Amino acid sequence: MNVLSEQIDVEQFSDQGYAVIDSVFRPEDFKALRDGYSELLDREAAGMLATGSIDSYDASLPFDERLIDVCRQCEEIDWTPFDITFTLFGLDAADSKPIYLGKPIFDILRHPRILDIAEQIVGPEIYCNPIQHVRIKPPQGDQTLTRKNSIILRSQPWHQDLSVTSEDANDTDLLTVWVAVTDATEEMGCLKVIPESHRRNDLMPHCPVDVKQGPSIPDKYVPKEVVKSLPVKAGSVILFHRKTIHGSHSNLSDKLRWSLDLRYQPVGQPTGRDIFPGFIARSETYPERVLADHSEWQRNWQEARDKLIKMGDNSVLAREWSADAPWCA
């Protein structure tokens, strides 16, 4: 445990609201994930061919070329099957697609190197918070690729992660662990942060920009005097405090920018997404409660999906940001 402790500047994290840790993963650590997504894309593309959303698909091409080609051909790629959590906006019908619950993701969520990092911020009783995403962003300079695609595939506007939880999680020590699967240079749309922005007491005002976009802070409220871009190499990890204002640049390169954003917190605090299944990832006190069974994790998400479909209205899942609020004018 704590093999990486010397690499994490916990003081800088408390002071600045973020930390960058280089070389946490090697390329081979992502092989299973890449293979899983390659198969997933083949399956999804077969469905798109059958329904006529795309006209052609060359399975012999490398993954990046296949995904870019699919994005270019279809009106709008449905990201649900590629993501690892439910959208707050689309799970209102029994025909919404299952999310990706492959073992490679479960293994990364429980990866000892990630938990060693999280432990230094949230302590030894670690809960894997279920607000988590896989983002594989196509080149945004090519308007045909992204004009209609959901925000998850585009640059992310300024926000605090606390803005997407329900209010009962206001005091949860929520840690965002952002993992670079590919390089993320500034041209490729790396993250950007406002250092020290987590120190203010209140959550900033956020506004919903459109139905597929998470809440974002209106430009006039973003203290942009000190914006820091965070370019990183594949395998690096970036940590954010729940109130740190951050976003990402547009991917103006011709490559895919692939990342995971995962979240951890101490066991026993509200997750801010009650109905989604988190799990105990590490515990000294109750080691027998740690979830190590991939099938059980899958089942938990499937049960949550059934519940959500029955509920119909997902708006209860997170705090409400109204476009009619005075700060959105």
Q: What is the contact surface with ligand AKG in residues (CB under 6 A)?
A: 135, 156, 161, 176, 178, 191, 246, 248, 259, 261
- Taking the complex as a whole, the smallest distance from the CB of residue 26 to ligand AKG amounts, in Å, to 21
C-alpha to C-alpha distances, 61 to 9, 68, 137, 256, 287, nearest whole angstrom:
41, 11, 18, 14, 44
CA pair distance 257, 269, nearest whole angstrom: 32
CB atoms within 10 A of CB 129: 28
Q: Which residue from 77, 214, 240 is spatially nearest to 157, judged by alpha carbons? A: 214
What would the DSSP string read from start to end of 217-262?
--GGGS-TTS-EEE-B-TT-EEEEETT--EEE----SSS-EEEEEE
- The percent of the chain in helix, strand and coil, each rounded to the nearest 5, is 35, 15, 50
- Taking the complex as a whole, the smallest distance from the CB of residue 47 to ligand AKG amounts, in Å, to 26
- Taking the complex as a whole, the smallest distance from the CB of residue 280 to ligand AKG amounts, in Å, to 22
- Taking the complex as a whole, the smallest distance from the CB of residue 276 to ligand AKG amounts, in Å, to 16
Tokens of residue 282, six digits: 């590490």
- Taking the complex as a whole, the smallest distance from the CB of residue 161 to ligand AKG amounts, in Å, to 5
Task: Pick the closer one to ligand AKG by CB: 45 or 191.
Answer: 191
Task: Pick the closer one to ligand AKG by CB: 73 or 248.
Answer: 248
Task: Pick the closer one to ligand AKG by CB: 57 or 221.
Answer: 221
Task: Pick the closer one to ligand AKG by CB: 45 or 249.
Answer: 249
Task: Pick the closer one to ligand AKG by CB: 30 or 178.
Answer: 178
